[in-house]
Amino acid sequence: MSDERGAASALKGRLADVYLPALVEGATPALSKRLGNRATIDDPLFGRASTLSSIEPMLEKFAAHFKGATYRQVASATGVDRDVSEGVLVRGTEELPIAIVAERRRLREIELRVYYATGLSERRSRAPMLEATDATVPQVVLHVIDALRKGAVERVLAAFEASARFVDPEGKAYSKKDGAMATFVSDVASRMQIAPAGAADDGRCCCVEAVMIRTRPARDPEPAALTFERGESGLLRELRFYYEP
């Protein structure tokens, strides 16, 4: 496939869906052109860029850092004011969960926020990109967030199907069946508070952007994203959690 054809195929569709495929396929010039001067990108490893002159170097750094990786999409959701795409970056035997949120703003402006675990030995400070607000989310999602805040592990578990699981930022899954989910939930509830700051809900997946406050040890607020996937029963079958471990 020629570079031109690869770039064209990588850029068909919603920005949230094409962002990662374009980067791993080497279509950074075409992606920069599509983003233009009305876009802002916030990345946990490469910082924030809001002009074409700063966006292009960021995209090149990301592509170089993940050179040789492939991308597998896991889920996608469309909300009223934002689109979300989730997937896994694969390098050899390593798989890194990643979520892309593209928020549509006034005057055709768009803000693209990226969530993944950087793998750095020393944590970088990343301020919340949004303020906590009364985001419109399904009752079952509110139930889980409220139960986490109160440390009510059994209430959290009751919202999930028997075969459900949690997936942490590094891709490790915790099953409800074998009790691993209960242990993970208890640990999360004891160490952090989560306040919704926006959401995209398409009836199947609800992705909540949030302000996360770690209480043990105490740290400054930071951004996080959580995707709640519904099962056929009406209960939840999976929760995917994106933040810096």
In the prediction, which pLDDT does 216 show? 79
Query: Do 9 and 99 fall within a single domain?
Result: yes
Confirm if 140 and 235 have CB atoms less than 8 A apart: yes
**Number of domains the chain contains:** 2
Sequential DSSP letters for 189-244: HHHEEEEEEEEEE-SSEEEEEEEEEEBTTB---EEEEEEEEE-TTSSEEEEEEES-
Is it the case that residue 10 has pLDDT exceeding 60? no
Query: Do 169 and 225 fall within a single domain?
Result: yes
Query: Do 108 and 147 fall within a single domain?
Result: no
Identity of the amino acid at 178: D
Question: What are 118-169's pLDDT values in tens digits?
Answer: 988 666 667 777 787 777 889 999 999 999 999 999 999 999 999 999 999 9
User: What is the rounded radius of gyration, in angstroms, for the C-alpha atoms of the chain?
Assistant: 18
Dig out the tokens for 202 from the structure: 């398409």
pLDDT band for position 9 (cuts 50, 70, 90): very low
Dig out the tokens for 223 from the structure: 């951004």
pLDDT band for position 174 (cuts 50, 70, 90): very high
When pLDDT is averaged across residues 191-207 and rounded to a whole number, the result is 93
Is it the case that residue 58 has pLDDT exceeding 70? yes
Confirm if 197 and 211 have CB atoms less than 8 A apart: yes
Give burial (CB, 10 Å; 0-12/13-18/19+) of 233: exposed
Query: Do 56 and 102 fall within a single domain?
Result: yes
Whether 126 maps to a domain, the answer reads: no
Question: What are 201-224's pLDDT values in tens digits?
Answer: 999 999 999 999 988 788 889 999
Percent pLDDT > 90 in the chain is 74
CATH, residue 220: 3.10.450.50
Is it the case that residue 186 has pLDDT exceeding 90? yes
In this structure, what are the phi and psi dihedrals at residue 204, rounded to the nearest 5 degrees? -110, -50
Whether 164 maps to a domain, the answer reads: yes
Pick 142 or 10 by higher pLDDT.
142
Whether 122 maps to a domain, the answer reads: no
Answering whether pTM is above 0.75, one says yes
Query: Do 164 and 106 fall within a single domain?
Result: no
Residue 35: domain span: 3-115
Whether 111 maps to a domain, the answer reads: yes
In the prediction, which pLDDT does 149 show? 92
Whether 215 maps to a domain, the answer reads: yes
Query: Do 155 and 212 fall within a single domain?
Result: yes
